[in-house]
């Protein structure tokens, strides 16, 4: 088993498959890998997914729930949420996954006025400054890109 203590998952695109994959890997890291610190980070090309309501648009259908649950012992399709916003909230609140975005690119993409401005960002996603981005990267044992 891996000795990973700090896992950083960088979401580098708005493609739905990348969104789903990052949350599935975060779940597995916490539940199966017992990784203490898991962070999902929305990078420059994916920060638009952090706007309020965007993750909720990505449904987790019954077929997907059955596909995922069928691969994990002890997980039933009904245990899974109906969309990625609900999944993100569960992972943050119940598993302790940190979800962050690059506040600089929130401003550049026009939905924030300052790096700290979270008015248009989901309340469970923390906009962070560039030094904190570097801290997350340099402190990670493993960095995976989606």
- pLDDT of residue 2 exceeding 80, the answer is no
Question: Which whole-number Å values give the CA distances from 95 to 117, 124, 144, in the listed order?
Answer: 26, 13, 19
How far apart CA 92 and CA 40 sit, in angstroms, is: 10
Tokens 């109906």 map to which residue? 82
- Residue 72: band (very low, low, confident or very high) from pLDDT cuts 50, 70, 90: confident
Query: What is the mean predicted confidence (pLDDT) over 67-91?
Result: 94
Q: Is residue 1 over pLDDT 80?
A: no
% residues pLDDT > 70 (the chain):
99
If pLDDT is split at 50, 70 and 90, which confidence band does 105 have? very high
Q: Output the pLDDT for position 70.
A: 93
CATH superfamily of 6-145: DsrEFH-like (3.40.1260.10)
Mean pLDDT of 110-137: 95
Interval 6-42: pLDDT, tens: 999 999 999 999 999 999 999 999 999 999 999 999 9
Domain boundaries, the chain: 6-145
Residue 100 DSSP one-character state: E
Mean pLDDT value across residues 55-65: 96
């Amino acid at each position: 088993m891996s000795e990973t203590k700090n896992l950083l998952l960088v979401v580098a695109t708005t493609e739905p498959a990348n969104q789903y994959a990052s949350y599935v890997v975060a779940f597995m890291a916490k539940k199966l890998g017992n990784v203490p610190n898991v962070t999902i980070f929305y990078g420059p090309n994916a920060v638009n997914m952090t706007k309020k309501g965007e993750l909720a648009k990505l449904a987790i259908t019954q077929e997907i729930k059955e596909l995922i649950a069928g691969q994990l012992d002890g997980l039933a399709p009904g245990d899974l949420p109906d969309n990625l916003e609900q999944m993100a909230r569960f992972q943050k609140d119940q598993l302790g996954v940190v979800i962050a975005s690059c506040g600089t690119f929130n401003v550049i993409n026009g939905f924030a006025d300052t790096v700290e401005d979270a008015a248009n960002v989901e309340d469970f996603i923390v906009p962070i400054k560039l030094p904190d981005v570097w801290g997350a990267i340099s402190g990670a044992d493993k960095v995976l890109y989606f």
